[in-house]
Structure 1
């Protein structure tokens, strides 16, 4: 029945697409624009429902084929695949792969866990430190979850906590959240950085440097992380002691053995990359170039072998990323952005007079859309990103300040179906980690954290001159 409902969901989107393509209901939008919207609707249905475990690449194929069929040139239909964002993403995914393959990620996690006397508070602090450390080494949230969640469920079982209980949910949800939130504060700490860099209009892309991202977005995401952890401690911390001896983590760390050659080389390459990313303003080597050189080094030292080039990362994710990043150029060329601009810009620009109101409304709007635009809201971002140009030019709101609304929407969750990374975490723990009710509590804590972060960041953004 569930599988049937997924098929029905796709069919519903196909029906919507047929209505858009045949009836052409949007006044002022050219036929080509209608056909492109219809194509996107079909692809979106496939991405959301994925009947029979359909890969993301299936929807991507429909999107690019439709763009070509309806008259867009190749360099528009597949424009995302030549963007710097994709060429940052590919090496970054391999960074995550070697963290997992060499055992370096697990070593870092147990090194932190064994450094504290076990308690609910120290457990939260440990996951925070682990999240920051892994984010510094790879933007791949998938890999961080793959490293952290098995350890988290192992901690739950070592504490003899009931699966999906309050204590189990506390440990696993904080561990999961620390895979997402801290790294969002810098360009290469999360996939949100390359994603938004790819979606920004060409005239705004030069403003999305590593330095600018860190300067503008590090503070709000630091605040979100801290406030979220505090709220989870208040709302979900069990009354009884955690009940695990400190020696448990020491023994598990000792079982890893001595650090290996591969771990040492991986550490040098990844830390060196992070240094190069953060000093781009000095040496002027683009982030994508640094990432590709690091990938070359990992291959040359045989940390990544020839067979692992095809199996080490999810090419389905890479294809999905490249196709969705192409949406911005597709919408612009097919005049969809020009059509929707006059519909949204008056209200958007009216709000932009008050940057706080603008950002809060935009953030909640993206969160609301995430109930429907499930795959991280990418189609919504692509459709509206061009409107950041007048917001910047007329009201002096830096595009990375506006990006805060999009990134908060990408990380948003209230129900587990809205956040693919929650589903991924559940799969890795075989559904033993958290109960759905605790996911909702954590989602409310996240929303509160985002609002607090925006309120705190406003005077800071004014002080550094990114809000006029």
Structure 2
């Protein structure tokens, strides 16, 4: 039955889309072309979410492009996502991840940090937090970070003699996974969410230029890092076993070799550290993140760290095609009136909660976390459509679009169950039968959810003091 779900789901969505095409139920709210576009978006989302026939994201993106051209959307509008700097920032960011994985720099750093601590559940939790932050500084690619830390975490569990399915095993693996994912969302280039949302904001005329490294850091760093800290504390409170780790684990970890450091690792490390310094100072020296990323990628080619033959294989061009098309979704929806229609639904729905900033922000946060159960296409459809509605929300309730950046970043990483987060699925494919249990994943996911809510609520007075809330 499980193998039939992709087909049943995509067929059901397609039937709903066809009914919209035939019956035109939204006459008076949307034009005929608008309803045709809405139907095409639904079919595409069905392809992205359910992936029938094992179709990659790019296949759904190609269908989307062909369909939009067929219903009369202008070529520049359909392919507008590829003209945004976010796509090219992402290309470079993915090459960053390829470099630290290929050279072994990421693995070396993770192992060296682990060796600094005497094995205990508390010390290993701290170590994984440091590893996650360091890797987030070096590459925005969460996929690469997960690919680096999960084998190391699995080895750590084996050296500590933790049984698969045990609380201790799940705690170590889930902490390594979560720290590879979450803390980096505190700055623009610390996760793929940053470049994607930056591009989505820039596609909206009222928001163009609003989301940069400085503005993202000012609104996101506090809630994201508070959420990360509380998640670590909560995991130790609710998931730490009573028994201690064996004394032999310390010696085993210390004796694990990572080989002699190479020239490529040194060059890569220097380039990536300089990049992060430029990200931090870019607003003051007038250099954008895109320029820094593309320049660094050029240097990787110059120094031979990336070979010509690796252009096609080094990164996921499936993701690039998917993202380029997805980033044009907002412009298409704006052109045919779908954004105005959605605004007419969403803005009034928020009115009962608008009297209090804590209530409004809290309701939005909870909804976006729960929405992830539906939008499982890496949350990208939400990332690219919601920003176009934010100006209407700001006009109605005085909540700045900047406030939504950390909320979306945190909600986009939700992992109550494995199917809603493709990084969870990826991590489980690495750890296989030695992975965490579904129950432990749910527990950790709830801890993350509660930690995120608290982090967001603590940030509300800060945002209000910055003039971002009514």
Give the gaps of 5 or more residues in structure 1: none
Find the aligned partners of 1:349 and 1:96 in 2 and give their Cα distance: 43
- Kept in 2: contact 1:366–1:377 (CA 8 A): no
| 1:17 is aligned to 2:17 | yes
- CA shift at 1:380, angstroms? 3.4
Find the aligned partners of 1:372 and 1:324 in 2 and give their Cα distance: 17
- Kept in 2: contact 1:3–1:52 (CA 8 A): no
TM-score computed with the length of structure 2 as normaliser: 0.96
Partner-residue secondary structure (3-state), 2:432: coil
Partner-residue secondary structure (3-state), 1:206: coil
The equivalent of 1:3 in structure 2 is 3
- Kept in 2: contact 1:148–1:176 (CA 8 A): yes
Find the aligned partners of 2:429 and 2:400 in 1 and give their Cα distance: 39
Q: How does 1:342-381 map to 2 (within 5 A)?
A: 342-348=344-350, 351-381=353-383
- CA shift at 1:352, angstroms? 4.2
Q: 1:211 aligns with which of 199, 210, 214?
A: 214
Please give the per-residue CA displacement for 1:402-452, whole angstroms capped at 9, x wherever unaligned.
223322221112111111110010011124220011111011101100111
- Kept in 2: contact 1:3–1:51 (CA 8 A): no
- Kept in 1: contact 2:278–2:292 (CA 8 A): yes
Partner-residue secondary structure (3-state), 1:245: helix
- CA shift at 1:19, angstroms? 1.0
The equivalent of 1:46 in structure 2 is 47
- Kept in 2: contact 1:366–1:409 (CA 8 A): yes
Please give the per-residue CA displacement for 1:196-246, whole angstroms capped at 9, x wherever unaligned.
112222321311110111111000000010000111101111111122532
Find the aligned partners of 1:141 and 1:91 in 2 and give their Cα distance: 14
Please give the per-residue CA displacement for 1:366-402, whole angstroms capped at 9, x wherever unaligned.
2222222211333234333222113334544331212
The equivalent of 1:145 in structure 2 is 146
The equivalent of 2:420 in structure 1 is 418
The equivalent of 2:251 in structure 1 is 247
Partner-residue secondary structure (3-state), 1:224: helix
Q: How does 1:8-407 map to 2 (within 5 A)?
A: 8-27=8-27, 28-200=29-201, 201-243=204-246, 244-252=248-256, 255-348=257-350, 351-393=353-395, 395-407=397-409
Find the aligned partners of 1:61 and 1:431 in 2 and give their Cα distance: 36
Find the aligned partners of 2:90 and 2:4 in 1 and give their Cα distance: 34
- Kept in 1: contact 2:186–2:217 (CA 8 A): yes
- Kept in 1: contact 2:347–2:396 (CA 8 A): no
Residues 51 and 464 of structure 1, relative CA distance in 2, 3 Å threshold: same
Find the aligned partners of 1:263 and 1:405 in 2 and give their Cα distance: 35
- CA shift at 1:353, angstroms? 4.4
- Kept in 2: contact 1:331–1:382 (CA 8 A): no
Stretch of structure 1 that moved more, 128-137 or 377-386: 377-386
Partner-residue secondary structure (3-state), 1:271: helix
- Kept in 2: contact 1:114–1:247 (CA 8 A): no
- CA shift at 1:350, angstroms? 5.7
Find the aligned partners of 1:126 and 1:250 in 2 and give their Cα distance: 14
- Kept in 2: contact 1:134–1:144 (CA 8 A): yes
- CA shift at 1:95, angstroms? 0.3
- Kept in 1: contact 2:34–2:337 (CA 8 A): yes
TM-score computed with the length of structure 1 as normaliser: 0.96
Find the aligned partners of 2:291 and 2:351 in 1 and give their Cα distance: 37
Find the aligned partners of 1:45 and 1:394 in 2 and give their Cα distance: 32
